[in-house]
Structure 1
Amino acid sequence: MAECVADGPDLKEMEEEELWDLINNNRHRVSLEARPCLLIPYLRQARVLTEMDEEEIMNCMKFPNRCMRTSYMLDILRTQGRNGAMALLESLMIHYPKLYTQITGRKPSTEASGFSGLIKNAELTEYLVRAVTGMQKELQEARREAADMGARCTALEAELSQARPQSEALRQLRAEHSRLRRHMAGLHRDMLKLKDEKCDLHMRYTACVEENSVVNIRCRDLQLQMYQLQFELRKSQKETDFQRQRSVRCASPSNTQQLREEVSTLRRQLLQAETFTPAREDILTQDLEEALDGRTELLEQMCSLREESERLARERGQILEEKECLALQVQKLSLDCEMYQQKSTLIQSQLGELQAERDQAYLLRDEAQAQIARNLAEKDTLRRQVVELQEKVFTLRARNAQRGEQEKQGDRKYSWESCSDCPVPRPSPRPKLRRMFAICPEYKRSTSTEGGEEASSSIRSKHAEPPCSDSLRRREDELHCHSDSPDMTEWDSLASLIDIENDYDTVFEGDDEVMLPVTPPSLPCNNSPSDGAATPPFLVRLRPKALRISNRVMTISFHGEALLKQLQVVGGNKTGVFVHRVTEGSAAQLVGISPGAQIMEVLYEQERRSLRMVLEDSTLEEALWALGQVQGFCHLSLRPNQDGYEKLLLQLQSGEVTSGDSFYMRVNMSLSASCSGALTVTCNDIVHVTNTTHGSDGSWKASHVHPCQLKDLKSGTLPNYYRAQSLLIRAIEDMAFPQRPLKKAPENQKTVRIVSTGRQGPNPLWVSVEEDNTGEHKESRNSAEPRSCVTLMPYTLVTPHHPPTPRPVLLLPTMLGRIMNNRLGELSGFQLCEPELLNASEHAVRMHKAEILEECGQGSHRCYTLQSVEKVMKQGSHCVLPLGPDCVRRLHKAEIFPIIIFIASSERNVRRLRHKLQREGWTEEQLLECSRSEEPLLDKLPCLYRRLPPDSWNGTTALLGMLRSTILEEQNKIVWVEPDLW
C-alpha cells in the first residue's frame, strides 16, 4: 500500500461519515474523471465489491454512460461503510493521484504502509502472484478441454441437424401464434372502437333525453301557471259581482211613508183649530196636552222598537254577508277542485310517458346485455384457441429444454474448480449469475446450448471490459422478448405464472417436467446434482441470496387473506411504509417477509380483475386501506431498507414524530373547531399534516404553517379527506339552497373554494388503484374508479418554493391594473415589463417553446415574453406585468412565481377614478363588471393570491402605498403551488 504525506487531515482518525462527506463533496469530479474499469480490480481484491456488483455496474442497461456507472459504484461502496471509503481512496491514490490530492488534501507516496487495514502490500503481491500461477494452470486445462470439446462439437452438430426440422416447425407455430395474436389484437381494437362509438351514441341519446325532459318540465310548469291565472281571474270576477250587488241595494221606504202620514194629519188638525171657540180651545188644549203625553210615550215605545228593528236589520245584514262569503268560498273550493283534477290528469299522462321511457330503457339495457354476452362468448372462443396454441408451444419448449438439460449435465464436469495445488485458499465458486427478469421464459431454454461460450465470457467475466456486441444484441432481444411475454396468454393465473417462470427453475426427471416452487428462507435448499438423481423432485433456487442493497426490489407471492392480521406496518409518505411485525405462523412469515422491508407495491385480484396499488410514497392511512382490500392471493413488492426503518423507529421512540407522514396541503373550505383539540381553519389556509391515523374516527393531525418559514404553529385535528369531502358537499348544498341558515363569513373571506380533478386526472391525496394490464380483464374498466369521474377536493397538495429574486407583480382586475401599472413601475425597486418586437421566425420558435406570455395585438408580433421578465428580475427589481390571469401558469412552468394582488372596488371607490377611466375610454360600470367577472377566476389558479378590500383605499395615492407595502410583505412569504389537476 501507499502512504500519503501528511499535508491534510489524517484519514485513519476520521470517522465513516466524515470520510463519505469528503467523497460526496467531490462526487461530481470523481464521476467525471474516474473510470470504473480501472478501479474495480483493486476494489474486488479489497473485498468491497463482488462479482455480481461488477457485472451490474459495467453491463446494466440503466447506466448508458461512464459517469452514471461511476456514480452507481459509489452508491454500492457507501453500503460497505468505512471499508468502502478507504478502499476507494486507496484506488484513487494508485490510479488518479491528482484526483486523490484534490479530495483529501494529501499528496500520494509510494512508501509501504497499511493504513487501510484491508490488504497489505506484501500480502496483495503474494496473492496476485498465486492467482496468476493458478490462472496459467487453469489456461492449460482449458486448452485440453477445448480439444475434447471439438470432438463433442462434431457430435452436437449431428444432433443440431436433426433438431433443425423441429426448430423450423416450432418457428412456424410461433409465426402462426403471432398472426393469431395480431388478428385478436385487431379484433380487440375494432371492439374498442365499437364500444367508443356506442358510448358516444349513448351519451348523445342521454343528452337529448335530458334536454327533452327539461323542455317537458318547463311546458308543464307553464301550463300550471296558466291554470292558476285562469282560476284567479274567475275568483276576481265573482268578487266583483258580489260587490256590485251590495252597492246597488236601496234603503227601506217604510220610514218615509210614516213621516208623510204624520205631516198630513198635523195639517188637518191645524185647519180644524182655526174654527174653534176659546172654551173648546181650552178643552182641545187639555186634550192636546194629554195627547202629547200619550204621544211622548208612543214616541218612546217607537224609538225602542226602531232600535230593536235596526239591531235585527244589522243582524240580518251580517247573516246575509256571511251567507254570501260562504257561497264565495264554495265557488273557490269548486275551482280549486277543478284545478286539482286537471293537475291529476296531467300527472297521470306524465307518469304514462315515464313508464314508456322506462320500458324503452329496459329494452335498450337487455339489448346491451345480450351484446356483451355475445362479445364474451367470442372472447372465450378466442381464449380457448390461444390456450391450445400455448399448450403446443409448451410441449415443444419442454422437448427443447430436455435436450438442453442433457447438454448441461454433460457440461458439469467441465465446471471451474479451485486449484488444489495452490497454497493460498481460494474462495468457493459462486453459482452462475442469472438475470431472471432480463430473460424471456421461452428463450432461456433455447439459449442454453447456443452461444454458451459467449454467455460465459459476458456474464461470468472477471475483467472490467464491457461485453461484446453480440452479447449486448442478444440481451436486447431477450429484454424485448420478456417485455412482450405477458401478452401471450390472458387467463386468471397469468401474473402468478410469470413470477413462477422468473423465480424458479425446472428440474427434469426422465421425460417429466416439474415446476418447482420457491423455498422459504427457513427451509434448507439442496443444490447438489447427485441428490437430484436419487431423490424425488427437489427445490432449486435460481437466484443467490440477495445482498443488502437498497435499490433492489423483489416480489413475493403468497395467500394474503386478512393481510393486516398477518402484517403490522408503520411509516408514511415521507419515510415509506415498512413491515413492523409479522404474525407467527402466518403465510407472510412462511414466505420470508421480515420487519424492515419497505412495501413498494401490492397486486391482487378482486372480482376477476387484477388491481395494482403503488405504496412507495403513500400515507399510512392509504397503505392500511390498500392492504385491507387484499382478500386472497397477492403479490407484494418489497425493498430491503433496514437503515430507513431503524431511523424511523428511533424517531418514533424519541417522540420526534408520531408517524412517517408529512405533507403540506391547501384547505378549500372553512372548518370550525367542533370538538376539543380540533383545528380551526379557513379557506386557503396552508396546513402541515404529520399523522393520517391520529384518531379512530378518521382524523388527521395537522398544524398551521408560519407564512414566512417552514415552521409549525398551532396544531390540532382535521377530518380526513373523505370526511372533509362530505362536509364540502354539504356546504355547497347550503349555498345552493338559501332557505337554510348560513353563517355569514366576512366580506373579504371565502367560505368554500370549489376545486376538482379532471376526468382523467388521479386523485393526488389518495392511493392510485389501477388495473393490471397483464391480467385477463385488461380491456374492462369499472365506471366507479376514482379517476373516471370529476371529484371535489376539500384539500389539495401544495409544494413550498422560496424565490431568491424579486417576484413579478400582477394586478387584477385587468382594467384597474392598467391604471396602476405605470404608477407602480415608476417607484424605486419596480419596473414595468416592456413588450418585444419579434419577426415571424422568432415568434414561431418562441411560441413553440411556450416562451410567449401574451401578445399585444392581432396581426403583429409584438408580445410579452419570459426573457423580458427574467431580464427585469436579474436587475433586482419587481417586474410589473400588464397582463391577465392566463399568464400565471406559463410563468409557473418557467419556475417564476408572481405576486398576484386583486384590488376589490365598490361604487364609492370607482367614482374617485372617473377621470382616469374616461381617459382610457372606460366607464364605471365596465370596471365593476370586470372586477366581478375576474374574481372567480382567481380560485382556479394553482397558487395563493392577496385580496385588498374596497374599504382599505379611497384613492390612487393611498392605493399605491398599500400596494407597495403588500408586495414587500408577500415577497418574504413562502410560495405554495398546487399541481396541475386537469
Structure 2
Amino acid sequence: MAGECVPCNGPDLKNMGEEDLWELINDNRHRISLGVRPCIVIPYLRQARVLTEMDEDEIVTCHNLTNRCMRTSYMLDLLRTQGRNGAVALLESLMIHYPTLYTQVTGRKPSTEPSRFSGLIKYSELTEYLVRAVTGMQRELQEAHHEARRMTARCTSLESEIGQIMEQEEKSRCLQADNERIRRHLCSLQREVTKLKDEKCDLYVCYTAAIEEKSVMNKRLHELNLQVYQLQSELKKAQMENELQRKHSLTYTSLAETAQLQEEIRRLRCELEKAKKLDPAHHDILAQDLAEAIDSQVQLAEQLKCYREENEQLLREKQGLIDQKECLSLQVKQLTLDCNMHEQKLTLIHNQMKELQAERDQAYLSRDEAQAMIAHTLGEKDTLRCQLMELQERVFSLHAKCSPRVQQRSSDDTEADWGSLRSSCEESLVPNRRRLQRMDAINPMSLSSCHSESEDVAGSSVRSRNAEPPSSDSLRRREDALHADSSLEAAETDALLDDFVLLPSVWCEDKQKPRLCLSNDSISDGLSRTSVPPFLMRSRPKAFRINGRVLSISFEGGALLSQLAVVGGNKTGVFVHWVAEGSAAHTVGISPGAQIVEIKYELNQKALKMVLEDSTLEEAIWALGQVTGLCHLSLRPKQDDYEALLQQLQNSQISSGDSFYVRVNMSLPTGSNGSLAVSCNDILHVTNTRPTGVEDSWHASQVHPCQLLDLQSGIVPNYYRAQRLLIRAIEDMSFQTKKCKKAGDTAAQNQLKAVRIVTTGRQGRNPLWVSVEDETSKSTESDDTTAPKSCVTLMPYTLVTPHYPPICRPILLLPTVLGRILDKKLAGWQGFQLCEPEALSSCEHTTRLQRSEILEECEQGTNLCYTLQSVEKVMKKGIHCVLPLGLDCVRRLHRAKIFPIIIFISQTARSARKLRSKLQRHTQSEEQLLACSKSEEPLLDKLPCLYHSVAPDSWCDQSSLLTSLRTIIYEEQKKIVWVEPDLW
C-alpha cells in the first residue's frame, strides 16, 4: 500500500520517548542547522500548533539572529520547550521538505503520510494546508512588494532628515567637546582640592601626634624630677648619717687615746723628775725608755690610721647593704603582689571546680532520672503488651466458643468488657497519678545532639546506671558497653520516641515552647511500683522521628533566621551555628553542630520542600528566610565535621563552606569596590556565596588553566544580579546600530563575543538554584500531560566539572571546509593519525546507531561510518586522533568520556585569499569557506566545553598555520577540561 512506511533499519519513532527523540535531534543538530531553512518548515510547524505567530516573528525578524544557522538553532530551542510534540513536528517537516536529511537523521526512508505516526495533522487536511500555505506566501509576497515601495519613499524622506540630523550632530559634537574640556578642567581642580585637603588632614594628624608626644614627654619629665628629688633627699640623709657616725667614731677614739697619752705623759714626767735626781746611768735608761715610748706612739698612730681606713670601708659596705636591702624590699613587695594574685586565681579556680562538680552532679542526677524514666516506661510497655495479649486470647476464645449469632453478641459483650476494663483501670490509676512533663534537660533531641559532648564531659551515655567521675577507666568501660549494646540502646531510643508525643493541653504560657509530656507516675516512685500503668493517649502526630541518623523536628518557625544562624556551604554542608536562648528552636532541642538536610513548610496552602544537603550558604539563608509558620526541619548530627569547619574558619584556611566551579557567560569589568574583572568563557572557583560587607555578590578566584590552583581573587555578582546584567547587556546590543563595513567586522565580532547566550529549561538540582518541590501538586502534575513546560532561562554562569584526560585527546579542526584540507597534513606528522571509517553490516549499523556509537556517516546509502571504537583504537596507541567530522560528534564523544580538542580558525576575506590555491585543489571556493565559518561559529557557544579560537591575522600561510596548530594542541593537552552538564 502506498501510504504505509517503507521498512528500514532505523529506530521506530512511534516507540521512542521525548528524551530519545531530542537526543537523536541534538546528535544531528549541526547537520540540521546547516541544511534547513526556517521559512520553509515554519508553516507546517504553525499548522501542527507547536509554534505561534509570535515565535515566527521572533525567529524571522530578531536582530540577534544574524544568519540562517542561528535562526534554525533558535527554532530548535523553541521546539525543545514543546517536548515530544515539537520533536515529532520537526521530523515530519523534514520528511516533507527535506527527505534526504530526514533519512540521515532518523535512518528511515520518508513516508507518503508523515502524520500517521504522530497524529498532529490529519492526512485529509494536508492538501488544504499546502494550498493555504502557497496562497499565504503569495499574499505575503505582494504585501512585501507594497512594503518595499512604501519603504523606498520613506527612505527618501529619511535621507533629508539624516542631513539635518548630521548638522545637529556636528553642533552637539562641538558642544560635547567644550563640555568635556570644562569637565576635565573641573576634575583637575577637584583633584587639586582633594590633594590639598589630604595634605591638611596629614598636617592635622602630625600636629595632633606632636601634641600627644609633648604631653607624654612632660609627664615623663615630671616623673623623672620626682625621682631625682627623692634620690637627692635620700643622698643627703645618707651623708648626714655617715658624718654623724664618722664624728662619733673619731670622738670616741680621740678621747680614749688622749686620756691614755695624758696618763703616760704624767708618768713620763714623774720618771723624768726622778731621772733628774738619779745618776746618768738611770738617765740613759730613761732616755731609752722615752725613745721606745715615742716609737710605740708612732705605731699607735699608724694603727689609728688603719682603723680609720677600715671604718671608711665598713661605711661603704654599709651603704651597699642598705641599697641591697631596698632592692630586696621591692622584690618582696612584687612577690607579695604575685602571691595575692595567685591566691585570687586559685580561689576562682576552686569556685569554678565547685560549680563544675555541682553541674556534674546535677547532670548525673538528670541522667539517672532519665534512665529510671526509660526503664519505667519500658516496664509499663511490657505490662501493657502482656495485658493486651491476655485480652486478645480472651477475645479469640470467646469467638471460638460462640455460634455466628451468639458470636455477634459475644463480640458486643467483649467490647463492653474491654471498655469497662479500660475505664476501671483508668479510674483506679489515673487519679493517683500526676502528669509527668519531660523538661528540656532530658529531651530526646538534646540527648541525641549533645551525645558527643556528654562523652567528653561525663564520659557516659544514657545507659549508665552509676554516677562515676570521668576517669580513663570509666570512659573505657562505658565505651565498651556502648559498642556492645548499641542495638539495645537504639531499640530503647525508638521505643522512647514512639511513646512521647506533643500534647497541646500542656503547652506552657509561652506558645513558642512546647514540651513533651507523658501520663506516668511520679519519678519518685522509681522502679519499685508494680501496679499496671494506664494506656497512653495520643492527641497529634509525633514531634519527630529518627530515620537512620536524620532527625525530623516540627516546631513553630516564624522568623526562623532570628532563632538560629547557620554556617557552611555546599562542600561541607550547612550547620546550625547559633540558637537564640528561649526560642522555639532552642526549646525543641536544636543545638549548634547539627547539619540541616531538608526543610518543609507551608506557603499559600501548599506544602513545599527544600533540600539543603548540598546547597550553598546563600541558598540556605534564602530558604530559611521563607519560613513563616510551622515547619519540619530534618537534621543530621555531625559534631566532628562542624568543629573541623570552625577550626578551618578560625585559622583562615577557608572563608566559608562553599566550593564549586562555574563558567562565565559574559564579560564583567573591574568595579570601584575591588570586584574581579572576568571575560566570557573564564572559569571561576566560587569559595563564598555570602561574603561579609558585600550584598548580592560572591567571592571567587580565577583558576589556573593546567592545575586546580586559585589565582587572582575578588568579588563578582551573584547569579541573580549577574542575570540582570546579562539581560541588560543583550538589550544594549539589540539597540546598537550594526555597521557591517569591512573595517568594523573585527570589532563587531569581538563585541558579540562579550556575551555567550546559554539557556535552560530543566529544573534540575544545581548549586546555582534552590530545589523547591510542591508536594501537594506533585501527583496531579505527573498525571497531567498537558501541563505547560518550564520557560527558557538565561544563565550568566553555568556549573562545570573538571576532567583530566589520561591519554592524548582527539583533534577537531573547524570550520569543516578548512578542516578537511588540514586534517591530512596534520595526520602526516609524528604523534598524529587520521581517524579511519569502518564498514558495518546493516544489523551492526542499526545496533551501534541505537547505542550512539556512530559519530558520523561517510556517505548516505553506505554503511561506512566513523565510530567510537575507531577513535578509541587510535587513542590507545598514545597518539592524537585527527577527526574529519563536524560538531555533531562532540556530544557523542563526551557521552563516552572522550574530550576532543576543538580548534576554530576564524576567517576573513583576507585570510581566505591566503588559502585560495588549496581550496581550488579541493574543489572549494573562498565564498564557501567564509559561509561555512560564519554558520559554524555561532554553534560553538552551544557546546558544553571550551574551544580554542585562532585569530585570522596570526598566520601567513599554510605551513605557519600548521606550526601554530601543533603548538596549540600541545598547550591544550596540558589544560584541564571543563564540561557543563546537560541543561535540557
Query: Normalized against structure 1, the TM-score is what?
Result: 0.47
Larger RCO (CA under 8 A, 6+ residues apart): 2
Larger Rg: 2
Query: Normalized against structure 2, the TM-score is what?
Result: 0.47
